[in-house]
Amino acid sequence: AIQLTQSPSSLSASVGDRVTITCRASQGISSALAWYQQKPGKAPKLLIYDASSLESGVPSRFSGSGSGTDFTLTISSLQPEDFATYYCQQFNNYPLTFGGGTKVEIK
């Protein structure tokens, strides 16, 4: 199975900060990567698919980039509602797999 390693596992940031989260795949997955946001007690929500395509209705401060093995999720200006855990997910191979998550906390 393809392993996805997210870094950092957690970070503290302030409102207005630029935040970058990294996801590294154990083998090349082209652009077959999605990003989700999960708030406590809630289901995940799709943010990005195909590594860089913004899901409809998701604020433009979220962006994704990368291909092959290295990917990033960037929040250009962190808002109070963005404090959550973020997961990457690959869909290049079965079994579909997720990264371990990055928790974004208030500084």
Partner 1 sequence: QVQLVQSGAEVKKPGASVKVSCKASGYTFTGYYMHWVRQAPGQGLEWMGWINPNSGGTNYAQKFQGWVTMTRDTSISTAYMELSRLRSDDTAVYYCARDSGYNWNYDWFDPWGQGTLVTVSS
Residues that bind partner 1 (CB under 8 A): 32, 34, 36, 43-46, 49, 55, 87, 89, 91, 94-101
Nearest-approach distance from CB 77 to partner 1, in angstroms = 24
Nearer to partner 1, 17 or 55 (CB): 55
Joined tokens for residue 58: 């998701």
For β-strands 53-54 and 102-106, DSSP reports them as: unpaired
Length of the chain: 107
| Residue recorded with tokens 């799709």 | 46
Nearest-approach distance from CB 14 to partner 1, in angstroms = 26
Strand partners, 87: 36
Nearest-approach distance from CB 78 to partner 1, in angstroms = 22
